[in-house]
A = this chain, B = another copy of it.
């Protein structure tokens, strides 16, 4: 892109604006990797931009653990809250909706409209809860493939995602090599290490040991809020970095504390206030059984498999891929990202690795960064 083209592009950067989510319903039984089945399946999704007549300009965005299908735009003129990757998706933006038809679906097993533990099992008329079949990242991808089938999209221009979205992205490249034009996996890993499983299980224990959990049978609107909130607080720490937290909060105390004596474990430090708010806000938008289900799917994801090497899984890949690690990410550290690309290169694949120095920890991929934006823009235009 020359300077005048770039100038023109910047001039035309815009917003996707008001969007609506849609539901894809497959009325056939869906069979999970584990062998479990559900009689029908819904995926809630959004699209931005237009599918061209050759149907070869589709970009699939895969969301992270607690993300959803609302990647860009707003639901109404009055709404200020934009989709979670709004800075990345839109006309003239890195994932340019004037060129690409962008799709983002809430994953199978999610709780934002797609079929998951919170959904009603049409056979019993009750929520699936713990009867929802054991879920894998592979199942999430197969459900998305059904959505693409219905749209008549044989091959994606690109699949892209961070964190759990990065795992889905890798899974797409592995399971459907002929349907993937290229892929970009951000802040991901090929499998969880013991520490990550340990954090996830502690979060699950917080939920399960909340008396309101009731073995997963909590009534509507009465989920185990305390446990889910604690799980979120802890997980949220792992999404940030020590440096980032220190810069943002340090040991700053709440104003109220300066005025009145601290009592009975109320908020004293700013970081406590921030985290407690994150915990409480999460409860209002996420379902506890879904959190259990999805974190388990992540813990079980293992591209190393029984042979203990990435070669078996990655030898199926036949599209070019970009993996991006972030220096301050200690949940899915750079090394785990580098290892994937090293294995791809060893296998003779077209693969690249970039490591971005950002202080925002694992969540770096969710934050505006000219370097990340430029990378994604260029890789999509390859």
Contact = CB atoms under 8 A, between A and B. Distances in A.
Interface stretch (A9-17, A51-59, A159-167, A228-236): A228-236
Contacts of A246: 193-195
Nearest to A249: B194
B205 A237 contact: no
A8 B67 CA distance: 65
Contact of A195 (B191, B192, B242, B302): B242
Interface stretch (A81-89, A140-148, A270-278, A339-347): A270-278
Interface stretch (A107-115, A180-188, A196-204): A196-204
B202 A299 contact: no
Nearest to A241: B195
A245 B198 contact: yes
Majority secondary structure of chain A interface residues (helix, strand, loop or mixed): helix
B302 A251 contact: yes
Interface in A128-177: 130, 134
A269 B296 CA distance: 11
Given A206-B206, A265-B292, A272 B197 contact: yes
Contact of A198 (B192, B226, B237, B299): B237
Nearest to A276: B205
Nearest to A263: B130
Contact of A205 (B230, B292, B296): B230
Between A194, A205, A208, A302, the greatest number of chain B beta carbons within 10 A of the residue's beta carbon is seen for A194
Nearest to A193: B246
Given A134-B262, A210-B226, A245-B195, A271 B237 contact: no
A116 interface: no
A202 B264 CA distance: 15
A193 B296 contact: no
Contact of A230 (B209, B237, B275): B209
Interface string A295-314: 01001001000000000000
Contacts of A234: 199, 202, 234
A247 B296 CA distance: 22
A279 interface: yes
A279 B198 CA distance: 12
A333 to B, nearest CB: 8
18 contacts: A130-B264, A130-B265, A194-B246, A194-B248, A194-B250, A194-B271, A195-B246, A197-B269, A198-B245, A198-B275, A199-B237, A201-B272, A202-B230, A202-B237, A205-B229, A205-B279, A206-B206, A265-B292
Which 6 A-B pairs rank lowest in CB-CB distance, beginning with the nearest? A209-B226, A194-B245, A194-B249, A201-B272, A202-B233, A195-B242
